[in-house]
Amino acid sequence: MVLTTLLLIIVVVAIFWFMQKRGVKGITSISTQELDNLLANKQDRLFIDVREPHEFKGGHVPGMKNIPVGQISQRSSELPKDKEIVVMCHSGSRSMMAARTLKRLGYMKIVNVRGGMMSWKGKVAK
40 lies in which domain range? 25-119
Q: What backbone phi and psi angles, to 5 degrees, belong to 69?
A: -55, -35
Number of domains in the chain: 1
The CATH number covering residue 46 comes to: 3.40.250.10
In a domain, 31, yes or no: yes
In whole angstroms, give the CA distance from residue 115 to residue 126: 20
In whole angstroms, give the CA distance from residue 43 to residue 83: 9
Q: Which of 89, 98, 110, 117 is catalytic?
A: 89
In a domain, 15, yes or no: no
CB 76 within 8 Å of CB 60? no
User: Catalytic site residue 89?
Assistant: yes
In a domain, 59, yes or no: yes
Q: What is the structure's pLDDT at 12? A: 75
Alpha helices in the chain (DSSP H): 2-22, 32-40, 53-58, 93-104, 116-119
From the centroid of its chain, how far is CA 53? 16
From the centroid of its chain, how far is CA 22? 14
CB 96 within 8 Å of CB 72? no
Residue type, 38: L
What is the chain's pLDDT, residue by residue, as a tens digit (126 residues)?
777 888 788 877 776 666 555 556 789 999 999 999 999 888 889 999 999 999 999 999 999 999 999 999 999 999 999 999 999 999 999 999 999 999 999 999 999 999 999 999 999 999
